[in-house]
Structure 1
């Protein structure tokens, strides 16, 4: 697949690498224990800046007409789901190492209070770098796409697989945020589009397994510094991951929104 075009970032990261690294660690700890959701905020000390805006890329299937097509998975029955591994129509299951991903939506304008009642549409490529509904081999599938509404603690959780690495892009996951679940039916209603990056060490563990045979070579030919999305900084978008190739992985990311 071809390299995606670069879109202007909405901000320049204001945190240094050390401070941002500590921030990610603190937020990951809160997800493991007390995920922000009490409505009282988390305080300025560990409150991230708003997440950068990014391109949705050519394969969003969000009704935007990307790639010259008007595909819209958001209007399909069953798209509001936690488990993204199975196609709604065919029932076919996407291959790959299991990944449980939690995003915590917080209001950066209110000491990072949890944002409940919002909706996240999330999508990504398969283990071999293809996109359902667009790639020729899986044009009839709609797996690895789904919507979740954020709970009282501001979090959404998806069960999926670790995406592969295709030529020209760092391993990533796309997502859009909508103000309500009812509005998550068309890209015209979104309030934010961004991408999260996956850490290199974890990707190398995953890509050493048979299902990801092409990904390791693709990863060796790209870097965050050369990626057309993350080259201007990825600290606020780098997921924290743990687990193993045999047991599956868990990933978390705090998504700051200026509300």
Structure 2
């Protein structure tokens, strides 16, 4: 099934909340399904210094009285979450599958064929804005993203057994999870990105109704350009990538500092993308 693509990016003057309100008005016309991965809602961002909380759009910094960090923006899960919610007129739930808790998400559960793409390790550290940015141990993170050619598993084949590039990991004592995957492709209307949901524990990471936060990860454009231009697996991504920017993307156009990963590596050995995100808990 061809992948539904998002509407063209709205001007920067539109906030994520305004975007949702506008799309809500179009819902009766069936336009929401055309959104692709766009149109998220942005909750107020909280910054903590010691035990105090105030509004902020900046990234966390250290202070004399304690650590400072900001709540990662709430974003849309898009039309392909497969988390038990109804999306794209389908209700799929890979979170209910035995084996979904895994670090290597390049294959479907029980399969051997790996998704093709440049190897990528994704390292996510989860911290709390209400606990002096302390690491959160035992929380669960569900990560999913598109293939090198821009398609999402489950929905493309309409089969929950096709679940590559989706997986769940529990945070360790340092609040960290690691996923082994591939660099995502860039499809029309969106910059390269990944989706994730945060849950209180593995036990609650069984359906979207239990999630604490939904957000997206962005990637440095210069690094992504290098990857796309050096691998034939991403030939379809180059034109799409050159037609959009973080400034025109309908999710990241109003800010992406708290969602931008740091990347290192090379095409031969693969890349690593690391980020620390915070929630208010």
TM-score when normalising by structure 2: 0.80
- Judging changes above 3 Å, is the alpha-carbon distance between structure 1 residues 189 and 137 closer, same or farther for their aligned structure 2 residues? closer
Alignment-derived partner of residue 135 in structure 1: 156
2:254 equivalent to 1:251: no
- Judging changes above 3 Å, is the alpha-carbon distance between structure 1 residues 45 and 243 closer, same or farther for their aligned structure 2 residues? farther
Does the residue aligned with 1:163 lie in a helix, a strand or coil? coil
- Tell me the CA shift for residue 90 of structure 1: 3.6
> In structure 2, which of residues 226, 232, 244 is the aligned counterpart of residue 222 of structure 1?
244
- Tell me the CA shift for residue 141 of structure 1: 1.9
Alignment-derived partner of residue 138 in structure 2: 117
CA separation in 1, counterparts of 2:96 and 2:197?
Answer: 15
The alignment yields a C-alpha RMSD, in angstroms, of 2.1
Structure showing greater Rg? 2
- Judging changes above 3 Å, is the alpha-carbon distance between structure 1 residues 43 and 180 closer, same or farther for their aligned structure 2 residues? farther
Task: Specify which structure has the higher proportion of strand.
Answer: 2
2:35 equivalent to 1:14: no
Does the 8 Å CA contact 1:121/1:145 hold for their aligned counterparts?
Answer: yes
CA separation in 2, counterparts of 1:11 and 1:183?
Answer: 25
| Residues 32-81 of structure 1: CA deviation (Å, up to 9, x unaligned) | xxxxxxxxxx9777632100000000000000011111100011111000
Unaligned runs of 5+ in 2: 7-34, 46-54
| Residues 112-153 of structure 1: CA deviation (Å, up to 9, x unaligned) | 000001000000000010001111498752110000000111
CA separation in 2, counterparts of 1:240 and 1:170?
Answer: 16
- Judging changes above 3 Å, is the alpha-carbon distance between structure 1 residues 135 and 112 closer, same or farther for their aligned structure 2 residues? same
Unaligned runs of 5+ in 1: 27-41
Does the 8 Å CA contact 2:189/2:240 hold for their aligned counterparts?
Answer: yes
Alignment-derived partner of residue 35 in structure 1: none
Alignment-derived partner of residue 181 in structure 1: 202
- Judging changes above 3 Å, is the alpha-carbon distance between structure 1 residues 247 and 134 closer, same or farther for their aligned structure 2 residues? same
Alignment-derived partner of residue 198 in structure 1: 219
- Tell me the CA shift for residue 111 of structure 1: 1.1
Figure out how many residues of one structure are paired with residues of the other and give that number. 238
